[in-house]
Amino acid sequence: MSSAEKLTKLREITAEISRLGSIQALLEWDQQVNMPHGGAEDRGNQAALIAGLAFDKSTSDELGALIQDLASEIPDLDADDDFAREIKVAKRNYDRNARIPREKIIEFVLATSAAHEAWVKARADNDFASFEPHLTHIFELRRQQAELFQPYEHPYDPLLNEYEPGMKTSDVRAIFAALRPRQVELLRAIAESEQIDNSFIKQHYPFDEQRKLGTFIAGRFGYDWERGRIDLAAHPFTTSFGVGDVRITTRFLDRDCMSALFSTMHETGHALYDQGLSPKYYETSLGQPASYAIHESQSRLWENLVGRSREFSRFLFPVMQMLFPQHLGNVTLDQFYRGINRVEPSLIRVEADEATYNMHIMLRFEIETGLLEGSLKASDLPDIWNTRMQEYLGVTPADDTNGVLQDVHWSSGLVGYFPTYALGNLISAQLWEKMVAEHPEIPAAMTEGDFSQILAWLRENVHRYSSRYDPLDLVRKITGGPIDPEPYLRYLNAKYSEIYRF
């Protein structure tokens, strides 16, 4: 078989694996959006079947031989060349998948399917004890998976590497150590300032009009409705079944009119990335986003750097006054802008403001590493959660529903995922600084509802590369340096010192 024939065969197998992944994502989307609770067992079996087929394809001897043969023909797998990059990523994926036994994959899929339904019920019933056995089982399975990748500096490293290739636990700890004292200092300055009134937000806004607003803003940002849709879910998320089908979900809160809008802007940022991946890499090993932190940088950029900016408020506020005249008729633009940026330590991560959000992530990171190290037990989590929430943010949940049970991630087995949220915040500010330096006219265009230059810049500098570059290399290629907390801290301090006038 010639090299060209081997590459063709490799891409055929990779495409089949990609399609199986899309089917699995569709099953997961349906479970969270449409499926009745009674379907949980059947859905688990369906998901396990697809996962088994994907595992067999992605760890087959045929695939391994093809990758090995093609890799042997490449002098440098790190070369800045499409072919080298494709084989490098294919080899990395194969080596990782082949380390985990098939029966462990099936066990994990069944465990997480059952855990998700248990989490939904436990969260509704404020009953952590019913979820605890599932949580213990999932962390034990993840610990077993991590052990297959020894040697490592920390058992969290292999799990973090799934979401953020090249990143280590020690890297995250160093970044958080630099970030935390500066954010605590900012929060202290805000707490000593006069608090902002946002009572105009904290009332009931009709859900139908909220839905119209979110749909309108997603479209203005550039979301392609011919290749997407929006639905409701308990925990907002974005999922992709292919370049022609990228879906977002949101949720509405009865006493917070901005929650669904910020959620929609956030998920639109994710969806724009997925819709902008390069067609030439589709269904190859390079056909995915670079990493979860890069993905999060896109959602955070649109939600915060755009969506919570003064310039965007100048565009958004008249639209909202037209939709909600009874709520906003007597509110000024400045009151609106300051109100939607009010900083207030909160119990719920997804409702947290920019200045406090990273503290939520640091808590979860510490719990995950502690559970994997064995220094923490699942049964201790409610007390640990409440104690550290009080220590970090000065608030204590009244119940576990608003505390340790609030996130879907652990029931889905996504251990190692949480740090990417904070890393995404940092990267978003780095990208924004670079973008606006190159196109200083962007803020003025935002006041007119023109976001085309933002999307075009992201398409050119981030989206089109798909996973051709490792995330740390991509950040360096775009910004000239590594992941750096300084631009994010500059952004927060400049913005909130102006808003809170200190």
* 8 A C-beta contact, residue 210 and residue 257: yes
The closest of 312, 305, 292, 302 to 267, measured between CA atoms, is: 302
The closest of 268, 262, 233 to 250, measured between CA atoms, is: 233
Task: State how far the Cα of 11 lies from the Cα of 63, in Å rounded to an integer.
Answer: 10
Peptide bond into 279 cis (omega under 30): no
Q: How many residues does the chain have?
A: 502
The closest of 420, 381, 428, 376 to 400, measured between CA atoms, is: 381
Annotated active-site residue in 132, 164, 267, 366: 267
In the residue annotation, 209 being an active-site residue is answered as: no
* 8 A C-beta contact, residue 485 and residue 429: no
Task: State how far the Cα of 345 lies from the Cα of 270, in Å rounded to an integer.
Answer: 26
Task: State how far the Cα of 86 lies from the Cα of 469, in Å rounded to an integer.
Answer: 10
Q: Can you name the residues that pair with 232 across neighbouring β-strands?
A: 250
Tokens (6 digits) for 171: 């890297």
Exposed / middle / buried, residue 208 (Cβ in 10 Å: 0-12, 13-18, 19+): exposed
Task: State how far the Cα of 108 lies from the Cα of 355, in Å rounded to an integer.
Answer: 36
Instruction: Work out the angle at residue 124's Cα, subtended by the Cα atoms of residues 120 and 360, and round it to the nearest 5 degrees.
Output: 75
**In which region does residue 351 sit, left (phi positive, over 0), alpha (psi from -120 to 50) or beta (all else)?**
alpha
Residues annotated as catalytic are: 267
